[in-house]
C-alpha cells in the first residue's frame, strides 16, 4: 500500500525520496491521471490509496480509495488559507471538499484555529452556522502588541537627522519595510473590526505604501488620489481644496473608473500636518457619492490649528525647524482604536 | 483543575465564557501575575494549571504547573509565524520556548509543515539542523498556479477601454487589489528562490505597489526612485538617462540614506516599453556600488527595439494607438521563472 499525490489531473509523486526513485513509480509520473492510475493499479495488484492535493473529480477506475487529509495537514493549510483571505467568508463546503473530510471534522478544526487565533492575539475567527455557513477571519492587533509596536516606531523615528525642510519628517525607510508596513496595516485595520469598508484612499506618493498595507489587512482595493495631471489614467474627477497651513489652492484628482460611486472609504496617509489633504480627499469621496468611514495617519505633526477633528494617528511628531530638534511620542491611537475594542470583539456580526 | 492564560505578566482569562464569568476568576483578572496567582491558588486549593501564552518567567509560587501548548495549537501558530516572516531563519529554541515544548516535538511539527507546504505548493520550508539550526520559509508559486494566475491577469486586462494615450495601459485598478498584488509578488519572487536580495527598487509612482508586493514576499525593504525633485527626502544621488523610445534626457533620483552601498537589488516596475527607466535604475544601482540581481515587470508593451535584454514579464500587451485595439498574452515568465525552478527547489542552501 502506498500513497500518491494527485495534482491538476496529474500524478506528481510523493515527497519520500525512496519511493519516488522506485522505477514503477517514476514510470507513471507526469502521465494523465486516468492512464497513470490504471498502470499503477496493475503494477500494484489493485492496492492503492490516493491522496488528492487539489480538489478535482477522480477518474472512474476501480481499485483505489481516497485518503482524507490528516487533521495536522488540514490545520496548517486552513491557517494559511484563512490568513491569505482576511474578512472573506469561506464555506465549510469548500474546506470539506478541499480536504475530502466531513464537515464535522472541519468544524472541529475551526474550533482549534479560533482558540489559537484568540489566545495569541492574531485575529477574530467567526464561524457562521447553517447551510450557507463558514468561517471568516478578521485580523487585529491586541493593545499590548500595539503598545510595543508603537514604542518601536517612536524609537525608530526619534532621530533629529530625520527632520526635513518644512517641518516634515523622513519616514521613507520605515515605510519601505514590509515588517513595519504589515504591523501598521494591522493596527489601523483593528479600529474597523466590525465596519464594512469598500476601499482605502490615499494621496500620491508617500501615502501609497500605507494604503496598500491597510488594504491588504482589510482585503479591499486602494485608490490613489493625485495632485498632478501628468499621469495618464483616463477620465478623472477632481476637487480643489485649500491646504491647511499655507492656505494655497490645490487640486486633487482621481481616475473615475478607480472608485465605484457610493463606496464606504477609509482615508489614510503617511503624515498629516493641518489635515488639508485629508479634508480634500473627504470632499473627493463626496463627489463620488461615497461615505468617509474614518481617517488614519502614521504620524501627525504639531500644528496650531487642525482643519479636521476626527482622525487616528499612531505617533505624534514635534519638529522645530530652526534647530532641527525632534520630539516623538505615541499618537491618539490608544483612544481611537482601543476605546471600544473589547466590546467590538464581543459584538455580533453587523 | 482549570486553565489560565498568561500574557505579558498578567492573567487575562480564558476563552470559555462560563469560566470567565466566574466571580473568583474575574476577581484576579488584570492583576499582576504574582499576586493573582497566589489568590488563585488559595481559592482553588492549590490546584491550577497555567498555559503561558507568551514566553516569560513565571513567578516563584508553589502549586501550579505549566501546561505545554498542544500540537494542534502549535501547528496553527507556527504556520502563522513562519508565513509572516518569509526567508527568515527561526530557531528551534524560539519555538521550543514559545510553546514550552521539547525541541523533538517542534522538529516533528516542522516536518508536518514542510510536507503540507510542499504538497500544496505554498513554499519551501528548509530545516537547518544543529545547535544554531531552525526553519526558514521561502514562499513560491508553482507553475500550475502561475499559469492559472497569469491567465486571470490576461483576462482582466484584455479590454480595449484600458488603452491610454501614448500606448500605455490602465492597470491601476489591478495594481490596487491586494489579492492580485499578493500573487504578483509571489510569482516574481519565485524566480529568486535561492538568490540573496537586499532591496527591491522601483520608479515612482505606479511601480510602488508592485515593489511593495515583491518586497513583502522577499522580506526586504523597497526603495522608490523619483524623477521630480519636489518631494523632500534629504540628500539624493541622481543619474541622467535617455528614455528608450523618445530619446529624451531624464533624471532619476534616490535618497542617499534609503539604500546602503553595495546592495544586491531587484528592479521592478508595473509597465515597460523600451526599458529606458529600468536601464536608468540599473545605472543608479551602480552609483550606489550595488549589483542588479534582475528586473521584472507586470506588463511589457510591444516596441520595435528594447534597450535591455534581461528581464521577466508576466504579461505582454500590444496596443494600437490609432484604433485602440489591445492584444494581451502571457509574457516571458514561464521561461524566465520556471526554466530552472525544479532544480532550484532541490538545491542546497547557498
Q: Which cell goes with A243?
A: 491646504
Compute how many other C-beta atoms are within 10 angstroms of the C-beta atom of residue A349: 10
CA-closest candidate to residue B14, choices A276, A171, A118, A300: A118
Mean of the pLDDT values across residues B119-147?
Answer: 92
Asked if the Cβ–Cβ distance from B73 to A234 is below 8 Å, we say no
- From A236's Cα to the closest Cα of chain B, the distance in A is 13
CA-closest candidate to residue A53, choices A90, A83, A9, A22: A9
Asked if the Cβ–Cβ distance from B144 to A119 is below 8 Å, we say no
CA-closest candidate to residue A336, choices A318, A313, A304: A313
- From A233's Cα to the closest Cα of chain B, the distance in A is 6
Q: Give me the residue from A73, A117, A209 closest to B212, CB to CB.
A: A209
Rg (CA), chain A: 26
Domain boundaries, chain B: 3-66, 71-139, 143-346
| pLDDT score of B291 more than 80 | yes
Question: For residue range B200-210, what is the model confidence (pLDDT) as tens digits?
Answer: 999 988 999 99
Q: What is the pLDDT of residue A23?
A: 40
Q: What is the pLDDT of residue A66?
A: 55
Question: For residue range A209-243, what is the model confidence (pLDDT) as tens digits?
Answer: 999 999 999 999 999 998 876 666 778 899 998 88
Q: Which residue of A has its CA nearest to B226?
A: A205
Asked if the Cβ–Cβ distance from B80 to A79 is below 8 Å, we say yes
Tell me which CATH code domain B143-346 carries. Answer: 3.40.50.2020
Q: What is the pLDDT of residue A132?
A: 77
ipTM of this predicted structure: 0.83
What percent of chain B shows pLDDT beyond 70?
77
Q: Which cell goes with B6?
A: 498568561
Q: Which cell goes with B100?
A: 514550552
Chosen for mutation from B16, B51, B84, B176 (greatest number of chain A CBs closer than 10 Å) is: B176
Q: What is the pLDDT of residue A231?
A: 60
Mean of the pLDDT values across residues B25-35?
Answer: 50
pLDDT band of residue B304 (cuts 50, 70, 90) is: confident
- From B154's Cα to the closest Cα of chain A, the distance in A is 19
Is-contact A221 B156, C-beta < 8 A?
no
Asked if the Cβ–Cβ distance from A232 to B182 is below 8 Å, we say no
CB contact A77 to B (< 8 Å): yes
Residue A222 CA to residue A201 CA, distance in Å, equals: 6
Q: Give me the residue from B75, B208, B221 closest to A177, CB to CB.
A: B221
Asked if the Cβ–Cβ distance from B170 to A216 is below 8 Å, we say no
Q: What is the pLDDT of residue B162?
A: 87
Question: For residue range B69-97, what is the model confidence (pLDDT) as tens digits?
Answer: 899 999 999 999 999 999 999 999 999 98
| pLDDT score of B333 more than 90 | yes
Q: Write down the residue that cell numbers 489614467 correspond to.
A: A233
Which residue positions in chain A have pLDDT lower than 70? 1-68, 229-232, 321-323, 348-350
- From A103's Cα to the closest Cα of chain B, the distance in A is 18
Mean model confidence pLDDT for chain B = 83
- SS3 sequence, chain B? CCEEEEECCEECCCCCHHHHCCHHHHHHCCCEHHHHHHHHHHHCCCCCEEEECCCCCCCCCCCCEECCCCHHHHHHHHHHHHHCCCCCEEEHHHHHHHCCCCHHHHHHHHHHHHHHHHHCCCEEEEEECCCCCEEEEEECCCHHHHHHHHHHHHHHHCCHHHECHHHCECCCCHHHCHHHHHHHHHHHHHCCCCCCCCEEEEECCCCHHHHHHHHHHHCCCEEEEECCCCCCCCCEEEEEEECCCCCCEEEEEEEHHHCCCCCEEEEEEEEECCCHHHHHHHHHHHHCCCEEEEEEEEEEECCCCCCCCCCEEEEEEEEECCCCEEEEEECCHHHHHHCCHHHHHHCCCC
Asked if the Cβ–Cβ distance from B77 to A219 is below 8 Å, we say no
Is-contact B200 B211, C-beta < 8 A?
yes
Q: Which cell goes with A124?
A: 477574530
Q: What is the pLDDT of residue B32?
A: 54
CB contact A204 to B (< 8 Å): yes
Which residues on A lie below 8 Å from B73 (Cβ)? 112, 115-116, 119
pLDDT band of residue B62 (cuts 50, 70, 90) is: low
pLDDT band of residue B5 (cuts 50, 70, 90) is: very low
Please identify, in words, the CATH class of the domain defined by A71-139: mainly alpha
Is-contact A239 A227, C-beta < 8 A?
no
Asked if the Cβ–Cβ distance from A216 to B177 is below 8 Å, we say no
Asked if the Cβ–Cβ distance from B233 to A72 is below 8 Å, we say no
Q: Which residue of A has its CA nearest to B17?
A: A346
| pLDDT score of B181 more than 90 | yes
Amino acid at each position: 500500500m502506498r500513497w500518491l499525490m494527485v495534482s491538476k489531473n496529474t500524478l506528481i509523486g510523493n515527497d519520500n525520496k525512496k519511493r519516488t526513485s522506485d522505477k514503477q513509480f517514476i514510470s507513471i509520473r507526469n502521465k494523465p491521471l486516468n492512464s497513470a492510475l490504471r498502470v499503477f493499479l496493475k503494477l500494484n495488484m489493485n492496492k492503492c490509496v490516493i491522496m488528492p492535493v487539489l480538489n478535482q473529480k477522480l477518474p472512474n477506475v476501480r481499485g483505489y480509495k481516497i485518503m482524507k487529509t490528516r487533521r495536522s495537514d488540514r490545520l496548517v493549510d486552513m491557517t494559511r488559507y484563512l490568513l491569505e483571505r482576511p474578512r472573506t467568508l469561506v464555506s465549510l463546503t469548500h474546506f470539506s471538499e478541499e480536504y475530502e473530510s466531513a464537515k464535522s471534522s472541519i468544524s472541529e478544526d475551526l474550533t482549534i484555529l479560533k482558540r489559537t487565533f484568540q489566545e495569541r492575539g492574531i485575529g477574530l475567527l467567526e464561524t457562521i452556522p447553517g447551510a450557507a455557513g463558514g468561517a471568516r477571519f478578521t485580523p487585529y492587533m491586541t493593545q499590548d502588541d500595539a503598545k510595543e509596536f508603537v514604542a518601536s516606531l517612536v524609537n525608530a523615528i526619534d532621530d533629529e537627522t530625520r527632520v526635513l525642510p518644512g517641518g516634515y519628517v523622513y519616514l521613507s525607510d520605515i515605510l519601505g519595510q514590509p515588517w513595519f508596513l504589515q504591523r501598521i496595516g494591522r493596527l489601523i485595520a483593528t479600529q474597523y473590526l466590525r465596519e464594512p469598508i469598500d476601499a482605502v484612499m490615499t494621496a500620491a506618493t508617500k501615502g501609497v505604501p500605507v494604503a496598500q498595507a491597510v488594504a491588504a489587512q482589510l482585503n479591499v482595493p486602494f485608490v490613489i488620489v493625485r495632485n498632478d495631471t501628468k499621469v495618464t489614467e483616463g477620465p478623472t474627477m477632481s476637487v480643489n481644496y485649500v491646504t491647511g497651513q499655507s492656505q494655497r489652492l490645490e487640486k486633487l484628482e482621481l481616475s473615475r473608473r478607480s472608485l465605484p460611486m457610493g463606496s464606504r472609504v477609509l482615508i489614510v496617509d503617511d503624515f498629516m500636518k493641518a489635515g488639508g489633504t485629508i479634508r480634500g480627499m473627504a470632499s473627493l469621496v463626496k463627489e463620488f457619492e461615497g461615505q468617509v468611514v474614518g481617517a488614519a495617519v502614521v504620524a501627525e505633526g504639531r500644528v496650531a490649528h487642525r482643519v479636521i477633528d476626527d482622525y487616528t494617528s499612531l505617533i505624534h511628531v514635534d519638529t522645530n525647524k530652526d534647530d532641527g530638534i525632534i520630539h516623538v511620542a505615541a499618537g491618539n491611537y490608544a483612544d481611537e482604536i482601543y476605546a471600544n475594542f473589547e466590546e467590538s470583539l464581543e459584538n455580533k456580526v453587523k
